[in-house]
Amino acid sequence: MQISSKEVISLIGLTSIIFLIAPLFLILYVLSYNRRKKSHQEETIMLQKNFETELLRTQMEVQEQTLKTVAYDLHDNIGQLLSLTTITLSSINLNDNQNTAEKIALVEDLTLRSIKEVKALSRLLHGEEIVSRGLRAAIEFELEWLKRSDRFKISLQHNNIPFTGDSSVETIIFRLFQEIINNILQHAKATQISITLEGAVDSFKLMIADNGIGFNVDEIINRKAGMGLHNIIKRSTMINGNAAIVSSPEKGTTITITVPYK
């Protein structure tokens, strides 16, 4: 079959167009790929900067909470011990040897208790060091101060699988713990607090439950009064975790933070 010159010209023209268009599509594809890659890199950098900013803010809040605890303890505990020591010293009757001996023994006991409390406060001031010992140890140390108030029946349960996340993630989880406990202290009117730490194969779980007055979760989150809950949800998301909040009026509240292992 003989091909006409017109068909030959058409074939050559079509082939030329294909060879011209193919590189153009390749160039467009490469440009599009580079744009997506650059956009992804910029997004990654932005997420990293946001995380670092949030981590710094969290560390400052942990320190602020530590200073508040120190201030309360200085006023409510050590201040009372020193006041009682002063009152006891001023009541000593040097003419009564038995009374003097008893009062001096009491002053010695109060002084030793004050020294013990000051040493405990000194350890508390090293908040970063506490977190560096591990999340469980930091939570246990924080609960020691909460138990001193005798306002709550507190239980802590944990299994033997440790949290193996990095220190920055542990700091944020510890701050989440502090924030939840503060919400209970300020709003829940609870008498019992239960804390559970669970390490599974692929995730870590922190669960805090109270027997307080509870609340309507959707209603609180949709109001400005729910900013504390918004912070808990936001920070959980920043460490690739999630926060499940279960509560209803007069039935207490349970908040579960689940964070995957790296």
Task: Note the pLDDT of residue 36.
Answer: 84
CA distances in angstroms from 45 to 29, 176, 188, listed in the order given: 24, 25, 39
Average pLDDT over residues 133-156: 83
Work out the pLDDT band at 105, boundaries 50, 70, 90: confident
3 found inside a domain: no
Task: Note the pLDDT of residue 100.
Answer: 82
246 found inside a domain: yes
103 found inside a domain: no
250 found inside a domain: yes
Work out the pLDDT band at 164, boundaries 50, 70, 90: low
31 found inside a domain: no
Work out the pLDDT band at 4, boundaries 50, 70, 90: low
Greatest mean pLDDT range, 17-26, 31-40, 50-59, 232-241: 232-241
Q: Which residue type does 254 have?
A: T
Domain that holds residue 241: 135-262
Q: How far does CA 213 lie from the centroid of its chain? A: 24
Task: Note the pLDDT of residue 208.
Answer: 97
Average pLDDT over residues 19-43: 80
Greatest mean pLDDT range, 27-36, 81-90, 235-244: 235-244
Return the percentage of the chain with pLDDT > 70, whole number: 85
Task: Note the pLDDT of residue 156.
Answer: 93
Please classify residue 204 by burial: count the beta carbons closer than 10 Å to its beta carbon, then call 0-12 exposed, 13-18 middle and 19+ buried: buried
Task: Note the pLDDT of residue 210.
Answer: 96
Q: How far does CA 91 lie from the centroid of its chain? A: 48
Work out the pLDDT band at 222, boundaries 50, 70, 90: confident
| pLDDT above 60 (res 225) | no
| pLDDT above 70 (res 163) | no
Higher pLDDT, 193 or 44: 193
182 found inside a domain: yes
The SS3 call for residue 260 is strand
199 found inside a domain: yes
Average pLDDT over residues 232-257: 92
Instruction: Write the pLDDT tens digit of every residue in 169-218.
Output: 888 898 899 899 988 988 899 999 999 998 877 888 999 999 999 999 88
176 found inside a domain: yes
CATH number of the domain bearing residue 177: 3.30.565.10
Higher pLDDT, 204 or 223: 204
Q: In what order do the strands lie in the sheet with 242-247?
A: 153-158, 192-199, 203-210, 253-260, 242-247
Please count the structural domains in the chain: 1
Instruction: Write the pLDDT tens digit of every residue in 243-252.
Output: 999 999 999 9
